[in-house]
Amino acid sequence: MAKESGLGMAVAVDDSGGSARTISNDITNLDFAIPRGVQDITGIDKSANERLLLLADFSVTLNGVFNDASNMSHDVFKTVSSTSVARTVTITVSGQSLATESFFTDYALSRSATGELTFTTSGALQSGSVPTWA
């Protein structure tokens, strides 16, 4: 497989009712991570670190432009503060998909001095399932 850019990525997030909504057009940039915990198990008889891999995790931060059209980003995230539901997040690039069940913990809006109305929202793994690319 050749090296590629992130152009043409797609992001879908469930609304509070569990319906997947593709909101890629609203997102200007995103960060996501799939870290693993590490436990240091180095004994005093060693001259280098020994470690064990622990639990897998997932986090995502989506940044975008406010869009209150039906089934777009504001519709998806406006219930973050009033519902406690896991939402499927699906990130797709170059035919590779990563789907996770995540809790979103905030939905912040910002209006700049020049008039832009943007949002940022953050999600974290909920399901206990190891995030795996398909």
Q: For strand 51-56 and strand 59-65, is the pairing parallel, antiparallel, or unpaired?
A: unpaired
pTM, entire model: 0.91
Q: Which residue has the tokens 């910002």?
A: 110
Domain boundaries of the chain, sorted by first residue: 10-36+56-125
pLDDT tens readout for residues 11-46: 999 999 999 999 999 999 999 999 999 999 999 999
pLDDT tens readout for residues 68-95: 999 999 999 999 999 999 999 999 999 9
For every residue of 73-84, DSSP letters joined together read HHHHHTTTTT--
